[in-house]
Chains A and B, each alone.
Chain A
Amino acid sequence: MADVIDNPKTITSDAVEAIVSQHDEPQWLADARRAALQHYLATPLPSNRDERWRYTELGRFSFDGLELLEEPASRQVSERIEMRITDSDAEGVLVLNGPEVIYRDHHIREEGVIFTDLRSAVHQHEELLRAHLYSAIDVRSGKYTALNAALWKNGTFVYVPKDIEVALPLGAFTTADVGGITNRRTLIVVEANAKVTFLDETTSDPFDERLFSNAATEIVLKEGAKLRYVSLQNWGRNVAHINRLRAHLGRDSRLESLTVSLGADAARAEVESRLEGPGAESEMLGLYFADKGQHYNQYTLQHHAADHAFSDLLFKGALRDGSTAVYSGVIVVDEGAQKTDAYQTNRNLLLDTESEAVSIPQLEIGANDVRCSHGSTTSPVPEDQRFYLMSRGLKPEVAEHVLVTGFLYEVMSRVTLPKVAEYVERLVQAKLGVPGVKEKL
């Protein structure tokens, strides 16, 4: 197949077998990896003709010439992550540098909660993994997805048993200190009527050698389960990042997801909810602030497979200094998914004329008794607001900060985790260059 030439030489069945034997993995997992690799090799790279990838600056997600990430250079937890851990109030903490766990701290008080790295979970919780791994994301659904499925080396596993409510957040803080390809996988399973908050954060210094971070997150919510999931992408520069997040929501379950993009050169967030049980609710918030030529790309899916389910999506982003953003989102309502309530909004604020945003909201409705709406806007800074702020003496950069904060407020005000909201606000301010605000984590 001609497309095989697109693949870096390092991505071969030898690489898969090496992981399988190094980690002494069970047969079912080895087979799944092999199937994923076959799919990967047989699948061409995405093209702009593909609806999901329209307008994506595909070249910026290339991983040609990169090696699979092995050992990190250091096992030291950076000061920035240390401060972030303290500030997050997390009762379970995992720090990964590339595929290696460099720190863990468990003081989870609730009974039966599992919070560990995915590699360890393969052996310690094999039955749970066998039942759930690859269940929300089919290994055969796309090039990057298959790459992750075949070659992931580590990530996080969260399991909350029936009826257990975890009071404080669990947090996985991921970094890397050498370039290459890293495939991180996260699996979150919340049993019936259980409840948990999970923070999935990436941060790093800028890279000398390019990093391609190809992450996948599977979420399985059983009947009445509740999950607050925060994805906070703050990689240093010279990084291309993809995170595919896909959740399966059972009857009356609720997912509140927040996807924040601030770092990397090019970042793609795929956020998909499949509402499988009646009464399921998915609130999907997204926030991005791109500058200095960054490219942010988001694909979202609200798939209503069951009746009486609710989904509400709001993605807002600000752009400046020749940066670009693409938002492409679909609401799919299956035949029979009556009484669906589904909303989708994307708004972009352009801080200068060099930056651009494309927004493609779509509806595919197969039922007749539904309430759905979608909308998008891309607009420059309201000059009357800017003038008003400056007429009170605010310097242009401070006025811009107020306007960006004001624009993003609609999202921030819906974040139910005050600590996270504060932190995100500080990161945005630091990126805006607000005097006196450092990116202290």
Chain B
Amino acid sequence: MAEVSLEIRNLHARIAEGDTILNGVDLSVPKGEVHALMGPNGSGKSTLAKIIAGDPSYEVTAGDILVDGQSVLELEPDERARTGLYLAFQYPVEVPGVSIANFLRLALNARRDEGDEIGVMEFYQKLQKAIAILGWDESIIERNLHEGFSGGEKKRSEILQLLVLEPKVAILDETDSGLDVDALKTVSQGVNAARGPEFSSLVITHYQRLLNYIVPDVVHVMVDGRVIRSGPKELAVDLDSKGYDWIREQVGV
């Protein structure tokens, strides 16, 4: 059996001191695979993604999250990131006053020892390579993090960061929404460039069209804070034409 790189076990979670949102999520992504996570609005997909990344505004009440077989529940968000976890946010925030280049340098150096900071040449080569894959203009890296970015530019920035940081496990939360077809292709190219035997990904989307470009090994369907169905990529096609009620009826929720 293939090694599992991301495993969610019976995860229950709520907003810190608030409503419960996840009601026992089970899901695993073996090493080298790309899985899709679909589900209606408000079913808990983004919440799951943020909890995996360690968002302190949520509380895990039961269950576990494992990366490469190790529980990450006790780790801070930065520690999780340094174990190789990456989340492309559905709504990336703006941080004024820090350029993308400086931010990525800080992020890369956080993964290295003090005194072993990344060299200027090595850094720019990495950046340039990623920018080229995304067909972006180089001036973008001098702009402040997402300040004044369009929705599509923010999504591209999330993929740019993914390419530079080279995570082992990436969760992409609706990186396709708000993109035109050309941008969708570019972003997919970015993700496909990262694909390989050491890379696993969970791609959250509402649209089958993305899955034509990033072909998933497995599709999971989340409803009311639970994964109610997992199946082959054709499941996404059925969902696209028949809707979520069809699957609700099938599994009897």
Chain A contact residues, CB within 8 Å of chain B: 382-385, 387-396, 398-399, 402-403, 405-410, 412-413, 435-436
Residue in contact with B95 in the complex, picked from A389, A391, A395, A412, CB distance below 8 Å: A389
B55 & A393 in contact (Cβ 8 Å cutoff): no
B165 at the interface (CB under 8 A from A): yes
Interchain CA distance A407-B97 in the complex, whole Å = 7
Residues of B within 8 A of A387 (CB): 50, 53-57, 77
Chain B contact residues, CB within 8 Å of chain A: 50, 53-57, 76-78, 80-82, 86-87, 89, 92-93, 95-98, 103, 106-107, 110-111, 114, 117, 144, 161, 165
A sample of 10 cross-chain residue pairs with beta-carbon separation below 8 angstroms, ordered by A number, consists of: A384-B93, A387-B53, A387-B54, A391-B89, A392-B165, A393-B82, A394-B110, A402-B97, A407-B97, A410-B97
Residues of A within 8 A of B86 (CB): 391
A388 & B110 in contact (Cβ 8 Å cutoff): no
Given A383-B57, A406-B97, 20 more A-B residue pairs with CB atoms under 8 Å apart are A384-B93, A387-B50, A387-B55, A388-B95, A391-B54, A392-B81, A392-B107, A392-B165, A393-B78, A393-B165, A394-B106, A398-B110, A402-B95, A402-B98, A405-B97, A406-B95, A406-B96, A409-B96, A409-B144, A412-B97
Residue in contact with B78 in the complex, picked from A382, A395, A403, A410, CB distance below 8 Å: A395
B107 & A394 in contact (Cβ 8 Å cutoff): yes
The 6 lowest CB-CB distance pairs between A and B, nearest first, are: A409-B97, A393-B81, A406-B97, A390-B77, A390-B78, A393-B110
Please report whether the interface of chain A is mostly helix, strand, loop or mixed according to DSSP: helix
A391 & B81 in contact (Cβ 8 Å cutoff): yes
Within the complex, the shortest CB–CB distance from A360 to chain B, in Å, comes to: 26
B76 & A396 in contact (Cβ 8 Å cutoff): yes
Within the complex, the shortest CB–CB distance from A409 to chain B, in Å, comes to: 3
A398 & B106 in contact (Cβ 8 Å cutoff): yes
Residue in contact with B92 in the complex, picked from A388, A410, A412, CB distance below 8 Å: A388
Interchain CA distance A238-B81 in the complex, whole Å = 41
B96 & A383 in contact (Cβ 8 Å cutoff): no
Within the complex, the shortest CB–CB distance from A404 to chain B, in Å, comes to: 9
A436 with B114: in contact, given A388-B95, A409-B96 (CB under 8 Å)? yes
Within the complex, the shortest CB–CB distance from B84 to chain A, in Å, comes to: 10
Interchain CA distance A420-B94 in the complex, whole Å = 26
Residues of A within 8 A of B111 (CB): 393
Residue of B nearest to A425 (CB): B97
Residues of B within 8 A of A392 (CB): 78, 81, 103, 107, 110, 161, 165
Residues of A within 8 A of B50 (CB): 387
Within the complex, the shortest CB–CB distance from A258 to chain B, in Å, comes to: 17
Residues of B within 8 A of A398 (CB): 106, 110
Interchain CA distance A390-B79 in the complex, whole Å = 8
